[in-house]
Every structure is written in C-alpha cells, then in structure tokens.
Amino acid sequence: DGGITQSPKYLFRKEGQNVTLSCEQNLNHDAMYWYRQDPGQGLRLIYYSQIVNDFQKGDIAEGYSVSREKKESFPLTVTSAQKNPTAFYLCASSPGTGGWSSYEQYFGPGTRLTVT
C-alpha cells in the first residue's frame, strides 16, 4: 500500500535532548513537509523540501533541522534549542510535478512528542 509513515506514534524525551522524528513515503512524491500542531490550533509549517537535497525554512524553523538525502525520507530533528517542543508533529508529501494536484498534500499519522 502506498502511503506515508511516521514513527514512533508517541515519543517522550527529557528537556535538553535532541530527538529525531522519522517520515517515509512510498508515493514517489517530490515534495515533503513538516508541520507542528498545538492543541486547538491549526498547522504551522516548520520546513519543506520540493526536491531531494534541497529544503527551505517554513514559518517556525527555529530549533529544528531537517535533511533530504533521499526522495522517500525527510527526518526532522527537534533540538534542545526549541523552547516549547511538546506538540503533535505531522509530515506530509505532495506530487510536486505540475498541475493542480501537485500541491495536494497527504499526511502521515503524526508523532506526539512530549518533552519534560
């Protein structure tokens, strides 16, 4: 089955530790995205990548880092510099090949990160 996987579903870390969230897609999509969602709020864009080996900062990139070494993988590292890391993290991908459907984003199930 084609889709996007994120692991783990729940993650607990101590303050001061870096943590890396996994995102893998087998949809052959060019573009991938990371969002953060806080309770009762919408999604905020952290980083996005429209092609392998290239990525751009979104609206709230401070304290996060990403890599895009393979088309199917876009891991997100939450560093100790992120002041309020506890949140629901969502990864998405879109075809990015031109045409209206290029921008239709499909989401993974998300990772709930709790930092204490």
Partner 1 sequence: RKEVEQDPGPFNVPEGATVAFNCTYSNSASQSFFWYRQDCRKEPKLLMSVYSSGNEDGRFTAQLNRASQYISLLIRDSKLSDSATYLCVVIPNTNAGKSTFGDGTTLTVKP
Measured from the CB of residue 112, what is the shortest distance to partner 1 in angstroms?
8
Distance CA 6, CA 88 (A): 12
Q: Which is nearer to partner 1, 28 or 41 (CB)?
A: 41
Which parts of this chain interact with partner 1 (CB under 8 A)?
31, 33, 35, 41-45, 48-50, 56, 58-59, 88, 90, 96, 100-110
Contact 53, 45 (CB under 8 A): no
Measured from the CB of residue 80, what is the shortest distance to partner 1 in angstroms?
27
Q: Which is nearer to partner 1, 16 or 100 (CB)?
A: 100
Distance CA 29, CA 16 (A): 34
β-strand pairing of 10-13 with 111-115 = parallel
Q: Which is nearer to partner 1, 85 or 108 (CB)?
A: 108
Q: Give bridge partners of residue 20 from the DSSP assignment.
A: 77
